Amino acid sequence: MAAAVDCILKLGGSALTQKNQFETLKTESLRRAAILVSLLWEAGERRCIIVHGAGSFGHFQAKEFNVALGTSGGSAASDHLRQGLCLTRLSVTKLNHVVTEQLMNTGVPAVGISPFGTWQTKNKNVIKAGIDAVKNVLDAGYIPVLHGDCTLDLEQHCCILSGDTIIEVLAKTLSPKRVVFLTDVKGIYSCPPDTPGARLVDSIVIGPERTMEPTVFTSALPHDSTGGMSLKLQTAINIVSSSHGSIPVLICKLDSEAAIKACLTGELKEGEGTKLSFMDT
């Protein structure tokens, strides 16, 4: 019987790309991400799943063609919408190819897996997930690399399936030892990091009703089709709450020593990032 999943690792789109610049990579950050995964591999944490955001790949096309809305107005799918879906997918799969190639360059046997066609939604809610493909890749000794993507939707023709939603489904099904979000900032802040007085929140406690202590406020870029940090935080809350704390969630900066420790041990010191835990009151 195959071992449990060691880690689900989310490489944030803002950490890998210049999110406000069309299809622009942060080359050094991508290289460091690949080295981090290679360290996990060498340490024996080999049942690891990578999910990366799209960043500046895909979001601009999705916004221009309203791919996230699909045919929510009740009309039939248009050629314009189909073109938008194809252009969005062309962009996100381009990034997936680059990420997978960089992982392979560091000795990681990485295999890109696109959700389109094996995942399906209804009113933007996942009703079918390609979990078997991920498990088969893991069991064969490879590292699956998934990404935020478009998906076909039974009610509105199509929508955007974010990497954060993919992680939530994977975590619920595969029960990893830990989930780590690697971003372009240290973790979750009391308010958007560029706001005066913003401070890093080291620990967030989730209650049985998915309450959060302390409360934080987040924001998203105008062209972000997936909710930005707000969705990441909600995803983290859902994972911790649904697992009653058995799956810890950590959020820290990709370009940091803390990122390596978070992925290998599931621990962070004060000032290194944010850890979410569960308290049943």
Sorted by where each begins, the domain ranges of the chain are: 7-176, 187-244+260-280
Question: Annotation-wise, does 79 bind a ligand?
Answer: no
Yes or no: say if 211 and 276 are a contact pair by the CB < 8 Å rule.
no
The CA distance from 234 to 168, in Å, is: 10
Question: Annotation-wise, does 103 bind a ligand?
Answer: no
Encode pLDDT of 185-223 as tens digits: 999 998 888 888 889 999 999 988 888 888 887 654 444
Q: Calculate ∠ Cα 165-171-175, nearest 5°.
A: 175
Helix 27-42 with 257-265: angle, nearest 10 deg? 30
Bridge pairing between strands 143-147 and 178-183? unpaired
Question: Annotation-wise, does 184 bind a ligand?
Answer: yes
The CA distance from 165 to 182, in Å, is: 16
Question: Annotation-wise, does 228 bind a ligand?
Answer: yes
Question: Annotation-wise, does 110 bind a ligand?
Answer: no
> In the prediction, which pLDDT does 226 show?
47
> In the prediction, which pLDDT does 222 show?
44
Question: Annotation-wise, does 70 bind a ligand?
Answer: no
> In the prediction, which pLDDT does 281 show?
65
Yes or no: say if 225 and 160 are a contact pair by the CB < 8 Å rule.
yes
**Residue for token pair 């933007």:** 124
The CA distance from 86 to 262, in Å, is: 36
Residue 17 pLDDT > 80, yes or no?
Answer: yes
pTM (two decimals):
0.91
Residue 69 pLDDT > 50, yes or no?
Answer: yes
> In the prediction, which pLDDT does 1 show?
38
Which superfamily does 7-176 belong to?
Answer: Acetylglutamate kinase-like (3.40.1160.10)
Mean of pLDDT over the chain: 91
The CA distance from 88 to 62, in Å, is: 6
Share of the chain above pLDDT 70, in %: 94
Question: Annotation-wise, does 34 bind a ligand?
Answer: no
Residue 81 pLDDT > 70, yes or no?
Answer: yes
Rounded mean pLDDT of 118-136?
Answer: 96
Question: Annotation-wise, does 12 bind a ligand?
Answer: yes
The CA distance from 196 to 220, in Å, is: 17
Bridge pairing between strands 48-52 and 125-128? unpaired
